């Protein structure tokens, strides 16, 4: 009797997992030069799902089956979006964000602080962005 009940419960769990299927969308967020953009926001439009890119620019979001628009953004760069279809599968969406040139030439100094939780959940990374990282520098050469 106990085996019958246990077997029935396992069967229900397996069937509900197949009916309520889900997958993962993952990838990286980089700038035009291929450098990681840690702390970039990656959101699934129309949902409350999203993630922050890690120090290496990687992200991963679990989603139920469906078709979604995923958007990546970070301060000082243009947004980028991709459409992904999750069907009991893992999908990839990599983003390359271009710099906003008018933002990079802004004469006002600024600092952006981003906090990112490490994957173990027992610590935080603090990332500093300053206007000097995005502002072009002129170098005068002497002969």
Where are the domains positioned within the chain? Answer: 21-134
**CA atoms within a 13 Å half-sphere pointing along the CA-CB vector of 58:** 6
- Average pLDDT of the residues in 71-81: 92
Lowest mean pLDDT among 19-28, 33-42, 94-103, 128-137: 128-137
pTM over 0.75: no
Confidence check: pLDDT of 55 > 70: yes
Q: Is 74 exposed, middle or buried (0-12, 13-18, 19+ CB in 10 A)?
A: buried
21-134: CATH superfamily:
Carboxypeptidase-like, regulatory domain (2.60.40.1120)
Q: Please tell me the predicted confidence (pLDDT) of residue 114.
A: 57
131: Cβ–Cβ under 8 A, 6 or more apart, which residues? 106, 108, 109, 110, 111
Asked if residue 112 has pLDDT above 80, the reply is no
Local structure of 108: helix, strand or coil:
coil
Q: How far apart are CA 36 and CA 28, in angstroms?
A: 8
β-partners of residue 115 are 126
Q: What is the pLDDT of residues 90-110, one digit of tens each?
A: 999 999 999 886 555 555 555
SS3 string, 30-65, reads EECCCCECCCCEEEECCCCCEEECCCCCEEEEEEEC
Tell me which residue of 69, 19, 13 sits closest to 45, measured CA to CA.
69
- pLDDT given for residue 113 in this prediction: 55
Q: What is the pLDDT of residue 116?
A: 56
């Amino acid at each position: 009797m106990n085996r019958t009940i246990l077997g029935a419960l396992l069967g229900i769990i397996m069937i509900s997992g197949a009916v309520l299927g889900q997958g993962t969308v993952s990838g990286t967020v980089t700038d035009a030069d291929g450098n990681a953009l840690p702390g970039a926001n990656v959101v699934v439009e129309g949902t409350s799902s999203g993630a922050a890119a890690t120090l290496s620019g990687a992200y991963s979001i679990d989603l139920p089956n469906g078709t979604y628009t995923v958007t990546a953004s970070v301060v000082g760069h243009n947004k980028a979006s991709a459409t992904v279809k999750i069907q009991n599968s893992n999908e990839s969406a990599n983003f390359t964000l271009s710099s906003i040139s008018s933002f990079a030439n802004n004469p006002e100094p600024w600092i952006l602080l981003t906090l990112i939780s490490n994957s173990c959940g027992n610590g935080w990374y603090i990332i500093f962005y300053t206007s000097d990282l995005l502002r072009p520098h002129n170098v005068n050469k002497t002969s």
